[in-house]
Amino acid sequence: MSRRDRQRLDDILAAINAIPAHLVRGDLSDGLVFDAVRVRLIEIGEAVKALPADLLAHEPDVPWMQIAGMRDRLAHRYFDTSHAILAATVDRDLPELERAVRSLIGQSEG
């Protein structure tokens, strides 16, 4: 794994770890919290887009293309972003993404 790829994986983890800190300040009905979480999800998608397909293939159960697509939707169609979709992403999808990213980092170290 290249240094750049490792940095992108670290970027994903940093964004995942920042989201609970935003949610401590309020829930997604608070506009500032909603925006902060949305921006972190955009960062995750941007980092995923920068990772090579052969690296992502090591975690085939993660919907990498959907993550990248969500980034595009959040960045370009922010005005119709559903609170429910963001909440489901945070609650259901981020734990699995974090596990996969940690696995990819572990594979490179081991």
pLDDT, tens only, 10-22: 999 999 999 999 9
71 part of the active site: yes
- Comparing CA positions, the residue from 24, 23, 42, 46 lying closest to residue 34 is 23
Q: Is 76 exposed, middle or buried (0-12, 13-18, 19+ CB in 10 A)?
A: exposed
Catalytic one of 3, 76, 77, 92: 76
CA dihedral 91, 94, 99, 104 (to 10 degrees): 170
Q: Give the CA angle between residues 14, 5, 99 to the nearest 5°.
A: 50
Q: What percent of the chain has pLDDT over 70?
A: 95
Residue with tokens 């969500």: 70
pTM for the structure as a whole: 0.90
6 part of the active site: no
